[in-house]
Structure 1
Amino acid sequence: MSTVIIQLRPDGYVWAVVPKNLDDPPENVERVWPREPHPVTCWGRRLPQGLADRVRLYDALRTLLDEADADEVLLAIEPSVEERRIGIVEVALDHADVGVELVTPHRDGALGIARDYVSDFISSLDPPNEADRTPPSGER
C-alpha cells in the first residue's frame, strides 16, 4: 500500500507517489483536465461533453490509485480550481475507498508535498542509540 499526493490546479492536476524506499525520488506526473474531442458513449449514445470529461477523470484517478496500490491520498486544492472539478475528484476518491487527508497546496506541486512528507516522516523517527550495540531485529 502506498501514499499518493494529488494537487488540483486550475489547468489540471499533479500527482506524486511516495516511494516505498524513502531514498528513491517520488514519481511525479502533471496532467491537464481530461477533455478530448471524441465523445464517450454509453449504450451506443454519446454523452454530453461535461459528463464525458467527468467519466474520463474518474477513469484516470481510478487507474492512478490502482496502479499505485494506494491506501492513502493527500489532497491539496489550489484556490482557483472550479468547484465542479473538486466535486468530481472527491466522488472519485470516495469510490476508491482510500483515506483522504486535505493538505496545503505546495508551490512545487505534489512533488513538493511528497518531499516534505518523506522529510517529516524521517525526522519523526527516533535516532539510533549509539550506546546500544544490539543490531536491529532481523540482523542478529
Structure 2
Amino acid sequence: MTRVSIFSSPLLLGFDHVERMIERATKAGSEGYPPYNIEQTGENDLRITLALAGFSATDLGITVEDNQLVIRGKQSDDKERIYLHRGIAARQFQRSFVLADGIEVVRAELRNGLLHIDLHRPRPESQIRNIAINTTDGGRSDTLGVTGKTGGSR
C-alpha cells in the first residue's frame, strides 16, 4: 500500500523536510523514560526538564543533530556494591526532541536530580525580495528592476 502524504500537493514545494520532522517527532514521542516537562519561560524561551535521579553530569550527553535535540544517559554500574534488593534500575536512555529551525540551546543544568535545558527562539526577520524578470524581445535582452531585503537593494 502506498502512503499518501499531506505534503504531496504540487502547491507545497520543498516541505519534505517538514514531513521528516513530523515522523521523527512521532517516533520520539513514544518513548516513556525519562519523564519530562516542557514549559514556556518567556515570550521566546522554553525549558525542557527531565527527571534524572541517580545520574551525574558525567553520565549524560546532550547533542543537537539535524534540528533534533538528543539527550543520552548511561549510568556506570558500581561493581563493588552487593545489592540485597535492586529496585532502582541503572539503565541507559535516549530522549529526542525535534527543534524548529532557528531554536538555539542556551544552556543545560543538572540540579537536584533534574536536568534543565533552556531553549531560545529568536524573532524571525521579515524579508521581502523582488525577483528580476528577464525579457527577450526581438534579440534584445533586458533585466527589469531587482530589489533585495527590506532596507536595501540587491
TM-score by length of 2: 0.23
- The structure that has the greater radius of gyration is 2
* More strand per residue: 2
